[in-house]
Structure 1
Amino acid sequence: MATVAWMRGAAAVVLAAVALGAAGCSGGDGDPAGAVSSAASAVKSAGEAVSSAASEAAKAAESAAAVAKDKLAEVKDGVDAKDQVSLGTVATDADGYTTVPVTVRNTDDATKSFAVQVEFKDESGNLVDTVVVTVSDVAGKGTGQGTARSTHKLSGTVSAQTATALRY
Structure 2
Amino acid sequence: MAARHRTRWATGGAAVALALSAVLTGCSGDDTPADTASKAESAVASIASGASEAIESATAEAGRRLDDIQDGIDVKGDVKVGAPVAGSDGRVRAEVTVRNSDDSAHSFAVQVDFRSSGGDLVDTVIVTIDHVQAGESATATARSTHALSGDVRADVARAVRY
- TM-score, length of structure 1 as denominator length: 0.71
1:47 aligns with one of 41, 46, 53: 41
In the alignment, which residue of structure 2 is the partner of 1:26?
A: none
**Structure 1 CA distance for aligned equivalents of residues 87 and 65 of structure 2:** 24
Checking the alignment, whether the CA contact within 8 Å between 2:98 and 2:137 is kept in structure 1 is: yes
Checking the alignment, whether the CA contact within 8 Å between 1:60 and 1:129 is kept in structure 2 is: no
Checking the alignment, whether the CA contact within 8 Å between 1:101 and 1:146 is kept in structure 2 is: yes
Structure with the largest fraction of strand: 2
Checking the alignment, whether the CA contact within 8 Å between 1:64 and 1:151 is kept in structure 2 is: no
2:98 aligned with 1:104: yes
In the alignment, which residue of structure 2 is the partner of 1:60?
A: 54
1:51-107: CA deviations, max 9, x gaps?
133213201211210220121022111112111101111122232222211010111
**Structure 1 CA distance for aligned equivalents of residues 146 and 54 of structure 2:** 8
Bigger CA drift: 38-47 or 148-157? 38-47
Instruction: Give the share of equivalent positions with the same residue, in percent.
Output: 45
- TM-score, length of structure 2 as denominator length: 0.73
- Unaligned runs of 5+ residues in structure 1 are 1-33
2:120 aligns with one of 101, 126, 136: 126
2:143 aligned with 1:161: no
In the alignment, which residue of structure 1 is the partner of 2:85?
A: 91
Q: In terms of Rg, which structure is larger?
A: 1
**Structure 1 CA distance for aligned equivalents of residues 121 and 114 of structure 2:** 6
SS of residue in 1 equivalent to 2:46: helix
Q: Aligned-pair RMSD on alpha carbons?
A: 2.0
2:67 aligned with 1:73: yes
SS of residue in 2 equivalent to 1:152: strand
- Shift of residue 43 of structure 1? 2.4
Checking the alignment, whether the CA contact within 8 Å between 2:90 and 2:149 is kept in structure 1 is: no
In the alignment, which residue of structure 1 is the partner of 2:25?
A: none
SS of residue in 2 equivalent to 1:134: strand
- Shift of residue 135 of structure 1? 0.7
